[in-house]
Amino acid sequence: MRKARASGDDETPRQNGSSSRRRSDQQPVDGEDHDSSSGGQQDDDDENDLGLRREIRSKYRDLINSVQQNREDMLSPSNNKLTEVLEEANKLFKDVRQAREAALDAQLLVVATDLGKEKASQLFSEGSAFDPTAFAEHLLSFMGLNRLEDEDDEPLNGGVGDGYLPRDAWHKLARRAECCFMTAPSFHYMMGSFHAEPPAPKQRVERQRKAPSKEAKRIMPTQLKKMDESHQEATEKEVERILGYLKSYYQDDSSSPISYYEFVIDPNSFSRTVENIFHTSFLIRDGLARLYLDTDKLPCIEPVEEADVEAAGSFSRKQCIVSISPKIWRELINVFEIKETIIQAPETQNE
């Protein structure tokens, strides 16, 4: 009995389990029916969208064809067909959702834009062009031109009839045109404007020059004058002394040229070298010595005879500027291997 009951108890949950399975098997069937119904509605919406898109594309193509076929009629100034086409395109564009319809809308816009541009140019060309003669005629009428009684006379001034303008004609035109220009208001004098005349040229009065006084005659103080004279005498003496060295050195060996750098460079003093170059330049200036280039294109110096000095006075001399620095001075000493100076320092100068 216990076994039977136990077996009976065991079977009950199995039956319940099978029934629950059957119920669960039946539930997805109901779900499938729900999905199939929603899928059917989706298919209907897609078909409706496709139909709407086909309709929109068809209308766009009709508009494009109508613009292309009625192009000549739409170019007429009195024809507003182009405006109606654009309004219809704006209505269709509200339902555009895909790229194909948007491409057709862009194509229609390009066609309409070209047509509108051509229509605008045609309106400009067919419109009334600017006629300067008619403009002048209207301008004179606005200014109040009083024409002559005799209208048979030939008009003057480019076809405009002759006549008289009132005094305020140009003021009337200015008041009418001043609104077109952003200018400051004109300024008016309370007592009327005045015409300024150019000032009369002033007569130039020559001042009497004062007679120079005795103090003004003195160009420089006596002390500076004496110093200048003493320096000039010292320079002349030094130039004569250097000329004596040049002549004596040249007489010893007149066949060999005297190198200019060996003659003026003092290997023991850079300042003495500069002084020698300075004083030697006076010999060249006065024609007491001359410079020339040897076969190696190096400068050489030699004295000039007194007869040659007088003959060379009429010829023009060329001048040049010699620059020297301590670095160049040392390089010249090494290149020419100068050991002693030709121009000895004066006794009064201590090196």
Residue 288: the pLDDT is 86
Q: In this predicted model, what pLDDT tens digit does every residue of 228-274 receive, in sequence order?
A: 556 677 788 888 888 888 888 888 887 788 899 999 999 999 999 99
- Are the C-beta atoms of 143 and 165 separated by less than 8 Å? yes
SS3 category, 39: helix
Residue 267: the pLDDT is 93
pLDDT tens over the chain, length 351 residues = 334 344 444 444 444 444 444 444 444 444 444 444 555 555 666 666 888 889 999 999 999 998 888 888 888 877 888 888 889 999 989 888 889 889 999 999 999 999 888 888 776 555 556 678 888 888 888 888 877 644 444 444 434 445 678 888 888 998 888 888 777 766 666 666 666 677 788 888 777 777 666 555 555 555 545 555 566 777 888 888 888 888 888 888 877 888 999 999 999 999 999 999 998 888 888 888 888 888 888 999 998 887 666 655 555 667 778 889 999 999 999 999 999 998 888 764 444
**Distance between CA atoms of residues 317 and 147, nearest Å:** 87
- Of 240, 343, 229, 346, nearest to 283 (Cα)? 240
**Distance between CA atoms of residues 49 and 57, nearest Å:** 12
Residue 235: the pLDDT is 81
The secondary element (H helix, E strand) that includes residue 276 is: helix 270-285
CA distances from residue 77 to 14, 68, 83, 115, 120 in whole angstroms, order as listed: 92, 17, 12, 12, 9
231 half-sphere exposure, CB direction, 13 A CA radius: 6
* DSSP one-letter string for 144-197: T-EE-S--SSPPBTTTBPPEE--TTHHHHHHHHHGGGS--PPPP--TT----PP
Residue 26: the pLDDT is 44
**Distance between CA atoms of residues 65 and 71, nearest Å:** 10
**Distance between CA atoms of residues 333 and 272, nearest Å:** 14
- Are the C-beta atoms of 301 and 258 separated by less than 8 Å? yes
The count of other CB atoms within 10 Å of the CB of residue 218 is: 10
